[in-house]
Amino acid sequence: QKEVEQDPGPLSVPEGAIVSLNCTYSNSAFQYFMWYRQYSRKGPELLMYTYSSGNKEDGRFTAQVDKSSKYISLFIRDSQPSDSATYLCAMKNSSASKIIFGSGTRLSIRP
Amino acid sequence: EAGVVQSPRYKIIEKKQPVAFWCNPISGHNTLYWYRQNLGQGPELLIRYENEEAVDDSQLPKDRFSAERLKGVDSTLKIQPAELGDSAVYLCASSYGDEQFFGPGTRLTVL
């Protein structure tokens, strides 16, 4: 069993829809949770960074962490075609430890 | 500010040949990472440097892979000899604090 599980998609939604992306994990020691966006032929870029449980909002993006269920989510409101990319969840035990990435979900926003 | 620079962007070689990848991190970033990203997967850490010192190379296949970071700035990752299974994108990242900044990667194809 992988430490981090992520549905690979692809996920296709119309422009303006709310998108929900999710990951589950097995290691209860994970404390730091991240979402990266990766455009084709590019490296990942950090989108959201949260510590422990709770919600964090940044513009159209909201990250949720439920440590009791070992489940994290990323919500994208008013989705735009420019949001079309692969979204990778990632997590780590401590600030200095290595990041464990999910396999990524391919998202396509239809104009 | 310039981002992480990697070269070459693409490399095609035959199996058993050597190959090298170069990375120039963001100026002032003392931590440098090499990741491998297989198709449809998230990045996996190969090696992490703090300045010139390799502090985590537990995932580096040392029989064929080597890396160096002379003077604590640029870094080179080498594979000798390459195998078919080494086909992947090799990503370099650098950081000063918690956030890692990724380069565009080198896409390696081994025939």
- Mean pLDDT, chain A, as a whole number? 94
Contact B42/A101, CB-based, under 8 Å? yes
Give A79's contacts (C-beta < 8 A, 6+ positions apart): A13, A15, A16, A17, A18, A19, A60, A109
Contact A8/B40, CB-based, under 8 Å? yes
pLDDT per position as a tens digit, A12-56: 999 999 999 999 999 999 999 999 999 999 999 999 999 888 899
Contact B41/A88, CB-based, under 8 Å? no
The 3-class SS string of chain B reads CCCCEEECCEEEECCCCCEEEEEECCCCCCEEEEEEECCCCCCEEEEEEECCEEEECCCCCCCCEEEECHHHCCEEEEECCCCHHHCEEEEEEEECCCCCEECCCEEEEEC
Q: What average pLDDT does the segment B11-33 reach?
A: 97
pLDDT for B46: 97
For residue A102, the distance in angstroms to the closest alpha carbon of chain B comes to 6
Provide the chain B residues 6-45 that lie in CB contact (below 8 A) with chain A: 40-45
* pLDDT at A1 exceeding the cut of 80: no
